Chains A and B, each alone.
Chain A
Amino acid sequence: MQDENRTVLDINDVCISYAGELAVRNVSLPIYEKKITAIIGPSGCGKSTLLRSLNRMNDFIHGCEQSGYLGFHETDLYASSTDPVEVRLRIGMVFQRPNPFPKSIYRNVAWGPSINGFNGEMDERVEKALRQAALWDEVKDRLQDSALNLSGGQQQRLCIARTLAMEPEIILMDEPCSALDPVSTARIEDLLFELRENYTIVIVTHNMQQAARVSQYTAFLENGVLIEYGDTEDVFTRPANRRTEEYVTGRFG
């Protein structure tokens, strides 16, 4: 079973620090192709930091430094010959807080493809992305309205649609459901199952049930250290580490 997996992202001995303060310490783990990998851990343990390093969003944070190797297929993500714009085209991201553009709903989804030279049928692309993100029925009659008039949960699904419209290879999601009600959350989870066929997904979540339901692999971080990584089923039912067990069963100190 393990042998069938192809590694798309190879995180190898990665350390990330903010102004000299280590936030991620010597983390190594593989991200397998067309699988969902969940990153769990207490608040402030470095989940978002690690996730952002995977599509070079930490480049914009002043004072953020990184060491170690991050491989994407055969290339070094941080090599000087690697174009960060191309990295972000192929590795999309949904952020912890919804951040739609202050433009129309349609433009929010269409902007990414349009600046990257997409010249197919844009309306179709937008509709497909909105349907995938379980938002189409709610917005189909008001595509030209400002995205800022949507509810928080709708905005987050719009951000997911915006990422899907780029058809990236890997989708990084930072707690995509933290602003959603149970119904929308369930729809996003359905979406994740569907996307799993074609995309590689890395998802940060505070919701243990969600991690257990949707992911095949789980990484548990604490204070920037990778405590445990493995099959989701193993991590949740037979954790090797006592800290992991305490965390996933909710007896966390």
Chain B
Amino acid sequence: MASSANNLSWRHKKAKLFQSFCLGVTVSAVTLLAILIYQVSMLGLPWLDGQFLSSFPSRFPEKAGIKSALAGTLWLVSLTASIAIPIGVLAAVYLEEYAKPNRLTEFININIANLAGVPSIVYGILGLAIFVRTFALERSVLSGALTMSLLILPVIIIASREAVRAVPSSLRQAAYAVGATRWQVIRAHVLPSALPGILTGVILAISRAIGETAPLIMIGALTYVAFVPEGPMDEFTALPIQIFNWTSRPQQEFHELASAGIFVLLCVLLMMNAVAVYIRYRGSRE
């Protein structure tokens, strides 16, 4: 009796220990993020004003701004999202709900998993060869968006598949049992239940697209752009490229501008996350 009681208290201790360990890891991750934000804000915030947001790049730090880069990123992200999300989600639904588990499906599965691990520069080379050259889309936002779509498709597909797979089969059966067709089951039950998971994957993927620089440089996005893209065929630059450009200059002022740029980039990311949280919240209330 005594020994089993001892044993129990040791087990409680182990549970506590693990809990503290998890807490410690979480706190250090959050602390690192806080330090990053602190540094970026200290350097960048003084530069962050209306003039910064509404000016084109310039040789003079006090006149330089991120108007073209911000506009380029917004263009790039909206185009990428409208290309990659429908294709990715539909592909996931096909693979989970329709595809028969045969050799071909297996082959596709393995390839998608592999594609998710391909370095982004390789997608840049692919985009250059296919979109820029073969399809003659030049160095347009559209080329960039198509390249980015290729890059994030595997992530969207994998996350959406996980979400679709997590929908309990008893729910599907309940729907089939009242005479629903496959499409009705997917439309009314599978997709709504999978939506939060799909959204999480989509947001992660889009965030990655916002931060990627290498493939854009590869397909020839410009580093000095004094205009805002007005259509998908216009040339463009993007926030990470502008930030990279500023950090590679010797003057301290430009480094501070880069910090301001990073701050704006973080804000764009946070805003997207907020939208996702809102959609989730609305979904869970229904």
Min CB gap B233→A, angstroms: 43
Question: Known: A99-B171, A101-B189. Is A112-B178 also a contact (CB below 8 A)?
Answer: yes
Which residue from B177, B180, B184, B188 sits with its C-beta under 8 Å from A57?
A: B177
Which residue from B171, B172, B181, B193 sits with its C-beta under 8 Å from A85?
A: B181
Q: In the complex, A177 Cα to B170 Cα: how many Å? A: 18
Q: In the complex, A93 Cα to B170 Cα: how many Å? A: 12
Which residue from A86, A88, A97, A103 sits with its C-beta under 8 Å from B178?
A: A88
- The answer to the question of B169 belonging to the interface, with a C-beta cut-off of 8 Å to chain A, is yes
List of B residues within 8 angstroms of A46 by Cβ: none
Q: In the complex, A57 Cα to B178 Cα: how many Å? A: 11
B171 touches A92 (CB 8 A): no
Chain A, interface residues (CB within 8 Å), range: 20 to 34
List of B residues within 8 angstroms of A166 by Cβ: 178-179
List of A residues within 8 angstroms of B9 by Cβ: none
- The answer to the question of B175 belonging to the interface, with a C-beta cut-off of 8 Å to chain A, is yes
Q: Interface digits, A102-144 against B, CB 8 Å rule (1 contact, 0 not)? A: 1100000001100110000000000000000000000000000
B172 touches A60 (CB 8 A): yes
- The answer to the question of B117 belonging to the interface, with a C-beta cut-off of 8 Å to chain A, is no
Q: In the complex, A101 Cα to B188 Cα: how many Å? A: 10
Q: In the complex, A103 Cα to B177 Cα: how many Å? A: 17
Which residue from A55, A99, A103 sits with its C-beta under 8 Å from B170?
A: A99
A101 touches B101 (CB 8 A): no
B179 touches A57 (CB 8 A): no
A100 touches B101 (CB 8 A): no
Q: Interface digits, B141-185 against A, CB 8 Å rule (1 contact, 0 not)? A: 000000000000000000000000000111111111111110010
Which residue from A92, A100, A102, A115 sits with its C-beta under 8 Å from B177?
A: A92
- The answer to the question of A25 belonging to the interface, with a C-beta cut-off of 8 Å to chain B, is no
Which chain B residues numbered 269 to 286 have a C-beta less than 8 Å away from chain A?
286
Min CB gap A178→B, angstroms: 15
Nearest chain-B residue to A112 (Cβ)?
B178
List of B residues within 8 angstroms of A205 by Cβ: none
Min CB gap B284→A, angstroms: 10
List of B residues within 8 angstroms of A115 by Cβ: 178-180, 184, 188
List of B residues within 8 angstroms of A60 by Cβ: 169, 172-173, 176
Q: In the complex, A86 Cα to B168 Cα: how many Å? A: 24
Which residue from A62, A103, A116, A162 sits with its C-beta under 8 Å from B101?
A: A62
Q: In the complex, A111 Cα to B169 Cα: how many Å? A: 18
Q: In the complex, A181 Cα to B11 Cα: how many Å? A: 38
Nearest chain-B residue to A62 (Cβ)?
B101
Chain B, interface residues (CB within 8 Å), range: 20 to 34
- The answer to the question of A89 belonging to the interface, with a C-beta cut-off of 8 Å to chain B, is yes
B176 touches A89 (CB 8 A): no
Q: Interface digits, B93-115 against A, CB 8 Å rule (1 contact, 0 not)? A: 00000000100000000000000
- The answer to the question of A159 belonging to the interface, with a C-beta cut-off of 8 Å to chain B, is yes
List of B residues within 8 angstroms of A57 by Cβ: 173, 176-177
Q: In the complex, A103 Cα to B175 Cα: how many Å? A: 12
List of B residues within 8 angstroms of A159 by Cβ: 174
Which residue from B171, B172, B177 sits with its C-beta under 8 Å from A55?
A: B177
Q: In the complex, A92 Cα to B179 Cα: how many Å? A: 8
List of A residues within 8 angstroms of B181 by Cβ: 85
- The answer to the question of A37 belonging to the interface, with a C-beta cut-off of 8 Å to chain B, is no
Q: In the complex, A86 Cα to B180 Cα: how many Å? A: 9
List of B residues within 8 angstroms of A100 by Cβ: 174
List of B residues within 8 angstroms of A55 by Cβ: 177
Q: In the complex, A250 Cα to B184 Cα: how many Å? A: 45
Which residue from B101, B174, B188, B189 sits with its C-beta under 8 Å from A95?
A: B174
List of B residues within 8 angstroms of A102 by Cβ: 171, 193
B179 touches A116 (CB 8 A): yes
Which chain A residues numbered 57 to 112 have a C-beta less than 8 Å away from chain B?
57, 60, 62, 85-86, 88-89, 92-93, 95, 97, 99-103, 111-112
Q: In the complex, A115 Cα to B184 Cα: how many Å? A: 8
List of B residues within 8 angstroms of A116 by Cβ: 178-179
A88 touches B179 (CB 8 A): yes
Min CB gap B100→A, angstroms: 9
Nearest chain-A residue to B101 (Cβ)?
A62
- The answer to the question of A163 belonging to the interface, with a C-beta cut-off of 8 Å to chain B, is yes
5 tightest CB-CB pairs across the interface, nearest first? A112-B178, A89-B179, A99-B170, A93-B177, A99-B174
**Contact sample, A vs B, 9 pairs, CB 8 Å cutoff:** A57-B173, A85-B179, A86-B179, A88-B177, A88-B178, A89-B178, A93-B177, A99-B173, A100-B174
| Chain B positions near chain A (C-beta within 8 angstroms) | 101, 168-181, 184, 188-189, 193, 286
| Chain A positions near chain B (C-beta within 8 angstroms) | 55, 57, 60, 62, 85-86, 88-89, 92-93, 95, 97, 99-103, 111-112, 115-116, 159, 162-163, 166
Given contacts A55-B177, A99-B174, 14 further A-B contacts (CB under 8 A): A57-B176, A57-B177, A60-B169, A85-B181, A86-B179, A88-B176, A89-B178, A93-B177, A95-B174, A99-B171, A101-B189, A116-B178, A163-B178, A166-B178
